[in-house]
Each structure stands twice: as C-alpha cells, then as structure tokens.
Amino acid sequence: MRVTIGFEIHEQLATRTKLFCKTPTDYREAEPNANVCEVCLGLPGAKPMPVNREALEGALAIALMLNCRIVREPIYILRKHYDYPDLPSGYQRTSMPIGKDGELAGVRIWEVHLEEDPGKYDPSTGRVDFNRSGVPLVEIVTAPDMHSPEEAREFLKELVKVLRYTRRVREEGGTMRVDTNVSIEGGARVEIKNINSIRGAYRALKFEITRQKNLMRRGRVVKRETRAYLEAQMITRAMRTKEEAEDYRYIPDPDIPPLLITQEMIDRVRETLPEAPHIKERRFIQQYGIKADDAKIIASELELADAFEEVAKVIPAQFAASWIRDEVKRVLEYNGITFRQSGITPAQLIELLQMVLSDEITLKTAKKVMELLPERRTSPRKIIEELGLKKLRDEEAVAKACEEAIEENPKAVEDYLSGKKEALNFLVGQVMRKTRGRADPAKVLEMLRGRIGDGE
Amino acid sequence: MSMEELRTGAVSTQENVARYLEAIEERDSEVNAFIELNPRAEEEARRVDEKLRRGEAGKLAGLVIAVKSNINVRGLRATCASKTLENYVSPYDATVIERIRREDGVIIGMTNMDEFACGSSGETSYFGATQNPSARGRIPGGSSSGSAAAVAAKFADLALGSDTGGSIRNPASHCGVVGVKPTYGLVPRHGLIDLAMSLDQIGPLARDVRSAALLLEVIAGHSDREATTIRARGESYSSQLSADLSGMKIGFAREFEEYTAGEIIREVKHALSKLEAQGASVVEVELPSLEKALPTYYLTVFVEFFSATRRYDGRRYGYRIEEVCGEEVLRRIMLGRYISRKEYSGRYYRRALQFRSLIKREMLEVLRSVDLIAGPTTPKLPHRLGESLTPLEMYAYDLLTVPANLAGIPAGVIKAGEVRGIPVGLQLQAGPLEEQKILNAMYALEGGE
C-alpha cells in the first residue's frame, strides 16, 4: 500500500517590522497586546501600508534557494476570509505565489508565497494576544513526493537547514507550522493541521498512516477530511469533512496593488544567497579531502561551515574537520545552541588547534578549553595561561606523579603484571589527574612501563 | 462666516465655533445633521486663535469642519451611523484628520450618514434620518447626508464626506452645496471606514468653490503609510482658481437625457449655457456603457463590503453586524456573501472587474476629446422623507454618479438651479488628477472672478 505525503510549511520571516505596518515583530518578549497598532489590530478604517520589502525579499530569497521559478507577472495579495478569534479583520492576507516549480532533496516545491500571521488565541481563557498578528510568514507548498514518515522527516530536516542558511527566517526556532496531506493508495487524501515541529510531523504521520491502514483492513473507507494533530496525545482527531470545508471567498485585496518583482530585485537578492548546503557538502569533500560524514555535519549550519573554511586555511583540513564534528558540535549540543549563538570565532579555534599541533597543550586540555569558549569570549591562550594548563614539560614532575600513582595503587600494578593490560590505562588516568591533564599521555605510558616493566 | 471675515480677523475662531455651536443647538434637533459634537472644539479654537495672533497659523485656521461618521477622529465615535459601532471611540486620527489638524482646522463634530454609507437618501442611519435644510420635507441625499446638511444649514464652514458611488455628489446636489469626489488615490483613505475599498474616496463639501478647493488641497497628496495613494502632490487648487473658461471643451452625453427627468435636464442645460458665456464650448458625446455602470458598481460594492464587514464579528465592537444592522446593510452583506462564493466568483466579481475596465476605458476615451463631461448628478429630484422606495429605485439615484468611481476620475457638483425650490446640481467630471478644471468650471458658474 503506497503512501503519499505532501506538506504546507509556514515559517516566520526574520523582519524587524510586521508585513503591513511598522509595528515591531518581537512579540515574544513583549507584554500581551503591546506590539499592536490600528493596522495589525484591523481597526475600522485602518489601511495596510505597502508590503514590507524585507519580508518580500526574504520570501524571494527562500524561493530562489528552493530553485523556484520567480513569478514576474503581477502578484496579488488575496484576502482569505474565515471567522476565528485570532483574526481581527476576519480575513488573512496571503499573496499569490512568488516562486513556483522548485525542488529540494528530490521533493518538488509547488509554490512559495507570503502570508500574515494571525494573533494568538487561548481557548482556555478566551483571551487573544495580537502581538503576533501581522508578523510575516513564508509558506512553502510541496508536491506529494514523499512516501514514508521517515522520508518526510528527512525532507523537513533538509528544508529547515536550507531556511536557516538563508538567514531570512527567525533564528530562535519553534515558529514552524506544518500542515500535511497524507493518503494511502485506494483511500482519500487527509489533511492534518496543527503540527509544530519535525518530530510532531513524524509522529502525526506515523499515527495517521496506521489509522488509515487499520480502516482499510477493516474494509472501511478513508474519507476526505481535515484532522488536527494533538501534540500531547500524539494522535490526530477529525476536524471537518470535505462537505464542511470552508469557503474562504478569496478576493484580491483592494487596499494593496499587486506586487511586481523586477529582474534587478532578483539579481540583488540572488547575490546575497549562500551556497546551498548539499553543494557545499560536496565541495568540502572534494576541495578539502575531508570525510563525507564530517562534511555533512559541518555543512549543517552556514556559520559553522564558514568557520571551518577559515580554520582550514591554517590548520590541516581533516584535523579541523574532526575537531569541529566531535568537539565543537559536542559543546554546542550540550549548551543547546547554534554555532552562531555560541559566539565562537574561527580565530579562537585556530589558536586552540595550533597549540595542540605545536604540542603546547594536550588534547584533553583543548577539550576542556573548548567547553569554556561559549561563555568566555576570549583568547584560548589567555584561558590556558590563566588556568595554568600548559603541557608539563618538567620530566621530574611527571616521573614523580608516576611513582606516586604506582605506590598508591598496588592492586592495579599487580593486575597489570598478572596480564590485565587495561590496568595500565587506569594508572595513566591517575597520572593525568595528578598533573591536571597537562602531561603527555604517550610519555606517561612510556614512563609507567619503564618503571613497572612490561608485564610479560 | 465668510473666509474674508476670518482672514481679516473680524471674527475669531472661537467666535466662529461658538456661533456654529449655537446654530446647532438651535436647529439641529430638526435637521439631525450631527451624531456627536467635539467636546474640545472650543478649546481647539482658542489654541488656533493664539497661533493666529503669533502669525503661525495654518491654511485652515479659523475654519470649522464637520466630519462624516465613517472617518476616524481620535477620541470621537466613528459609528458609521450604525448600532454595530455605536460604542466605538476611535483611538487614532485618519490621515486626512492629521492633515486638517496640521493646518489648524477645528473639527466640530461627527455627522449623520446612511448606515455604513449604504444608501443614497440619508434615511438608513441608526440615529434617524437627516432633513434637507434646503428643501424641507425632502431627503438630503446620501450617504454623506449629515455633512451636506451641516454645510447647507450653516452648522460648519466645511465638511468631509466620502464618495463610493456618489455619496458626496448626491447630497451636494440635493442640498445645493459644492461637493468634490477626488481622483481615486489622490486623498489618503487610512482612517476611512470601508464601504468598497476600490471605489471609496474622501472629499470636501462646502458652500463655495474656493473653500472646497482649500480643504481639498489640504487633504490631497501621496501618503507613505498606505498602498493605494498615487504619487501626486495636492496642488494649490484655491490659489489657481480661474473663471476664464476660454478654450475649454465640455461634453454633454446624449444618454443623460434618456435617464434623467426633463426638469432637471432643463436646469443643467441652463448652467451649461452660463459656462459657454465664460468661454467654454459644449459638444455632444456618447457614453454607451452607462447602462452597465449600476450592476457593475453594485456587484463590486457587495463583495468588497462583505469582506470589509467581517471584522464586526461581535468580539471586539460589541455587536455582530448581521444581528444589529439595518435592512440595506444586511441586504448588501448577504448578497456579497452569496456572490463571492467560490463557485460564483468568476461569474460576478471578476465579471464586474471586467466591465469596470470597459467603462473606465470609455470614460477616459471621451475625456481625451473634451476637458470635462458635464451633466446631471441624479436622474430625479429627492423624494419626500418617509416615502418608501424599492431597493432598485433607491439604487437608481446612483446611475449618473457611479461611473466616476468606476473610472477612478474626479467629479464635482455645484448648484445649477432649482426645480420648485428644490436644488439641482450640475455634475462635472474630468480626467485623472484634473481637479483644477472641475473647480475652475464650478468657480465660473458660481460667478467668481
């Protein structure tokens, strides 16, 4: 039974002001209903301002990144009418396609267009916060080209990566909203709304496909309908059938002349576009000869990829790549931040890795310093000096630590001598602890062997 | 007050406001031109007088202006003469109000109107019908009924109205005052509560051409804060007025006679002969699409008005419009809801847009061969208050005024004469942004120098 999946993805554009007024978009920090004006409140008589250029260019950049053909005919802003407490004027403004017929990761992109976000309605209190009302959204509509929840998840991950690359969507995340269409061969198409994350999309699809399969197994019909995904229960629930489908009575908004995208504008926006992540990945493998897995991880964030290229000018590429993949990513993930948010600079990485390569510090020290970089935006050398973490060159000190370790751990020595090779690693660990990681582990191993004998 | 008296300081702004307030107090219970008066009018007048003394006052200093109740004036109610918005106190000034304040005009109050500007008689207001001060017992016309009546009754020097299909010109004609519907996009609409967004324009009503020109030049001109104003400056219409019409070619459409009462045509032709005396030549032109104008207009209005009223859902302004509005407003909403249905959108709204461009082409074509199209404003005289008309009879009042809105061109109305004591207005239409030509012809008819 062949499964067919398509998406409509909404993401907030990173603009300073709203789509049709000059009210700021930072609705999260603001008190409820603080960032509003007569336009985004839809007060009687209020007229939209001309479309926010930053938002239009953002949608254009995204359409270009998704390999769309840009629409050069007049693009009308439509009014989509529906009745809901979060919609202050009773209609949502949504543009006709800005880009069409694109492609990403083997999935066809049907269209990219602009929309305004409604306010936020809390049914439990009946309150509406209009701070979000009028925030620009980009909507991306895909062809039904995915055939499993896993494939769908991979596509969404790739899409999020590309959207982040453009720097045109809101960085803080959590603003994505996904509607998905899913059908099984022989059944009708079902739309699922109210999905807020990639994981949510995956779970909703998993549940919905099982539900549809079960219906079919029992000889029942899968109706054409719209269902809501309930995050907490991880299930979908019927919202309305096709017969109950709303008629949005679209009309071109008489208050806004159609948009015209010029070649000049396309060229200007195209110039600001980064290299696409999958192309970057391929180039990294060829140009720097790094491993494919490393390239993929490094290219997952534009700023990280840029940093890698800076570092690789000075540091051997594969060493830099491994370090970024293992250590930089570990620190970012631990802190739950992006590279851009971490504030770590290529210069810091270069300095740190050079100290490793010139044998001034141990790898262990470098890892420790790495952990400090996101909070201490200073030179790694300074951190190392401050903490006294330079490699211990004083042979006597290392020898003394070895002897102490042997004396204090007779059991380990005995184990080692009776053939348990791992016991030596324990002793090395003890020496490293005593020298606060500053001793060279290879040297320590050699000294310990010299003192205990090789155990044979 | 004459503008001369104000300019020379013979009358202060405060005295002017006081006299008007007195007149309103005395006679508005009969006329019903106002829904609400501005409690700060006297205070504002005092401030204008101070500025006048310091020599810093703007163009409208001393003048008292009445505002139609579908225009937002901060702190006053923009009710649209509907129960739907009876408690809506506006928190912001429309762009035209900002411009009036900048030039030191004093707003005296909010005028009565047909509910949500849906009407041509001034009778559909939730706050009661307005009387025609110039023809007692008759309707004042609409929908800017209170604004035209306030000017005619000498309750204000000037008034703002709005015109979607004749709502400034129709009452100007019935009340015997001057009214101008500007080129679409010349006057900012921000703050004007919608009837049909693609047709609505704010414009002035006045007792004389010069002061109408003055108010127009203050409110006209491009605004950055909305998307449909055109890149034009408000010209200095008042200082460029000229009654010399030599070389001006005026077209009179033969279709006008077909649709209009003979007694009205007689007055209109008499006015045309006066214009000829000032140097203009009158030729006959054709407007064969005139018969399509009304259905085109109303289909457009129904759909856009339906869209515009979705915000009155009962959540923010107290009432759901469908539950409290009058019959005509409800009719338009229901028709708009019906014809904007997905399965009909091609048949009605889009068809209306097509006819609209046809009518526009025809009007512009005629206006390439003549400077002005002159003719009657309404096909018949205003009916008696309380007389009941069918919706179609009511819509027929708009036949001659809607083409200017559909074509987006300017049009002005000035009194041509009287039939049995009832004013009859001459309507003058010109090409886009040619307001000056209209004003000059009206000025000539008025007998200006």
A417, A449 in Cβ contact below 8 A?
A: no
**Is there a single domain that holds both residue A265 and residue A149?**
yes
pLDDT at A456 over 70: no
Quick check: A49 and B225 CB within 8 A? Answer: yes
Q: How many CB atoms lie within 10 A of CB A107?
A: 24
- Residue A205 in any domain: the answer is no
Quick check: A255 and B228 CB within 8 A? Answer: yes
- Residue A193 in any domain: the answer is no
Total count of domains within chain B: 1
Query: Distance, in angstroms, between B342 CA and closest chain A CA?
Result: 6
- Residue A231 in any domain: the answer is no
DSSP conformational letter for A336: T
Chain B positions contacting chain A at CB under 8 Å are: 70-72, 78, 80, 85, 88, 90-92, 94, 188-194, 196-198, 224-228, 303-304, 306-307, 309-311, 313, 315-317, 337, 340-342, 345, 349
Point out the residue among A45, A88, A250 whose CB comes nearest to the CB of B192.
A45
B143 assigned to active site: yes
**Is there a single domain that holds both residue A120 and residue A264?**
yes
Task: Please give the residue of chain A at the shortest CA–CA distance from B315.
Answer: A85
Tokens 């779970």 belong to A203
pLDDT at A443 over 90: no
Report the candidate in A211, A242, A241 with the shortest Cα–Cα distance to residue A3: A211
SS3 A140: strand
Please, is A425 exposed, middle or buried when counting C-beta atoms within 10 Å of its C-beta (0-12, 13-18, 19+)?
Answer: middle
Its domain, for residue B54, covers 3-446
**Mean predicted confidence (pLDDT) in A112-128:** 94
Confidence of residue A242 (pLDDT cuts 50, 70, 90): confident
pLDDT at B419 over 50: yes
B417, B270 in Cβ contact below 8 A?
A: yes
Quick check: B92 and A38 CB within 8 A? Answer: yes
Which of B203-207, B212-216, B231-235, B401-405 bottoms out in mean pLDDT, i.e. has the lowest?
B231-235
- Residue A210 in any domain: the answer is no
pLDDT tens digits, one per residue of A244-275: 778 999 999 999 999 999 999 999 999 999 99
One-letter amino acid for residue A211 of the chain? R
Chain A contact probe: residue of B160, B194, B309, B311 with most A CBs at under 10 A: B311
pLDDT of residue A454: 59
**Is there a single domain that holds both residue A360 and residue A435?**
no
**Is there a single domain that holds both residue A363 and residue A314?**
yes
Q: Which of B167, B211, B238, B289 is catalytic?
A: B167
Which of A23-32, A234-243, A352-361, B28-37 bottoms out in mean pLDDT, i.e. has the lowest?
A234-243
pLDDT at A393 over 70: no
- Residue A375 in any domain: the answer is yes
Query: Distance, in angstroms, between B226 CA and closest chain A CA?
Result: 4
Q: What is the CATH number of the domain that holds A400?
A: 1.10.10.410
**Is there a single domain that holds both residue A94 and residue A143?**
yes
Total count of domains within chain A: 3
Q: What is the CATH number of the domain that holds B320?
A: 3.90.1300.10
pLDDT at B281 over 50: yes
Of chain B, the percentage scoring pLDDT greater than 70 comes to: 98
Chain B contact probe: residue of A56, A116, A255 with most B CBs at under 10 A: A255
Distance CA B297, CA B289 (A): 12
Residues of A in contact with B92 (CB under 8 A): 38, 43, 46
Query: Distance, in angstroms, between B382 CA and closest chain A CA?
Result: 30
Quick check: A44 and B304 CB within 8 A? Answer: no
Query: Distance, in angstroms, between B437 CA and closest chain A CA?
Result: 28
Task: Please give the residue of chain A at the shortest CA–CA distance from B188.
Answer: A47
Which residues have CB under 8 Å from B271's CB, separation 6+? B374, B416, B417, B426, B445
Chain A contact probe: residue of B313, B319, B322, B349 with most A CBs at under 10 A: B313
pLDDT at B233 over 80: no
pLDDT tens digits, one per residue of B80-131: 999 999 999 999 999 999 999 999 999 999 999 999 999 999 999 999 999 9
- Residue A223 in any domain: the answer is no
pLDDT tens digits, one per residue of A322-338: 999 999 999 999 988 88
Last residue of a domain, one of A367, A387, A407: A387
Q: Which of B12, B143, B173, B238 is catalytic?
A: B143
**Is there a single domain that holds both residue A163 and residue A304?**
no
Last residue of a domain, one of A387, A407, A429: A387
Q: Give, in order, the Cα–Cα distances in Å from A391 to each of A356, A360, B178.
A: 10, 6, 94
**Is there a single domain that holds both residue A105 and residue A62?**
yes
Chain B contact probe: residue of A36, A82, A128, A251 with most B CBs at under 10 A: A251
B167 assigned to active site: yes
A448, A428 in Cβ contact below 8 A?
A: yes
Q: In the structure encoding, which two tokens stand for residue B395, read together? A: 């819509």
Report the candidate in B145, B4, B132, B8 with the shortest Cα–Cα distance to residue B68: B145
Its domain, for residue A331, covers 275-387
pLDDT of residue A239: 85
pLDDT at B7 over 70: no
One-letter-per-residue 3-state SS of B308-342? HHHHCECCCCCCEHHHHCCHHHHHHHHHHHHHCCH
> Which ipTM did the prediction report?
0.95
Residues of B in contact with A79 (CB under 8 A): 307
- Residue A186 in any domain: the answer is no
**Is there a single domain that holds both residue A443 and residue A314?**
no
Point out the residue among B94, B224, B315 whose CB comes nearest to the CB of A85.
B315
pLDDT of residue B276: 96
Point out the residue among A83, A91, A254 whose CB comes nearest to the CB of B198.
A254
A70, A261 in Cβ contact below 8 A?
A: yes
pLDDT of residue A245: 74
pLDDT at B310 over 70: yes
Task: Please give the residue of chain B at the shortest CA–CA distance from A84.
Answer: B313
**Is there a single domain that holds both residue A26 and residue A153?**
yes
**Mean predicted confidence (pLDDT) in A377-383:** 85
pLDDT of residue B103: 97
Size of interface A-B (CB pairs under 8 A): 98
Cis peptide leading into residue B369 (ω within 30°): no
